[in-house]
Amino acid sequence: MSYINIETVKLGCPECTQNIFENPLLFSFEAIDGYKQENGLFEFNFSFDSTLNFKLIDNKKIKLSINDIETKISNNLGMCDEWKEVNLLEYKFCCPHCKKNIVAYNFDPDTDFDLGDLDSQINISEYKSIWHNPKIHKEKIVSSSLDELIQNTAVNLSGKDFLVKCIYVIHDATFKHRGGAEETIAEDYDDMLYQAESSENIEHGVQGISTTIVYAAIQLRD
């Protein structure tokens, strides 16, 4: 779908190229889609009475220990320390020069916002250096289970005390724009964006949440 990106209006009307902000501009905006995402890095220590070699992945005792670790991690994840809200904003205004009605967006309106942005969440430098560390990982693989992580771990995993690091990602696609489109006046381009992006009528809910645990690293604890 071809669409007008709101950034183009900085250079003038998309139709006639004239400056639309010679005088204050009446416009409306509405968040028509959106999501909230959170992510955090968590570390867990596990100790066992006897030596375990997690590389023996088919061993019944090892399988039970892996399941137990995953359950404890899932039940003890806390609050994430990073979060952001992303909204698809629709802007409407009439050019004061050519009188054309313009509809513009800050993103491609065909974007599937239900998917979120897992790649950006796990690829910030702090996280990527943990889940993709050539010194301890065989390949560049995002592990969705402890089993996968162990199979991709190149270092020794035989001992009693272990450190497990994981990235917890939350995606919530529920939101609403109370009252629908808002009509206001912008002094310039920056004012137009600020008013839309800071609207208190855009609310993100706590339903429709999907969560992902990326098992980033397992190693013997010093």
| Entry pTM | 0.74
Residue 11 included in any domain? yes
Q: Is residue 178 part of a domain?
A: yes
**Is 117 a domain residue?**
yes
Identify any residues that bridge with 35 across adjacent strands, giving them in sequence order.
Answer: 86
The counts of H helices and E strands in the chain are 5, 8
What count of other Cβ atoms lies within 10 Å of the Cβ of residue 183?
11
Residue 200 burial (CB count, 10 A): 6
- Among the listed residues 69, 103, 91, 116, the one whose alpha carbon sits nearest the alpha carbon of residue 210: 116
Question: Which distant-in-sequence residues (6+ apart) come within 8 Å of 123 by Cβ?
Answer: none
- Which residues of the chain carry a pLDDT beneath 50? none
Q: Give the integer Cα–Cα distance in Å for 200 and 44.
A: 38
Task: Give residue-wise pLDDT tens across range 175-219.
Answer: 788 888 999 999 999 999 999 999 999 988 766 678 889 999 999
The reply to whether 26 falls in a domain is yes
Flag whether 42 is in a domain.
yes
Question: Which domain does 121 fall in, by range?
Answer: 6-220
Q: Does any domain span residue 1?
A: no
Overall domain count for the chain: 1
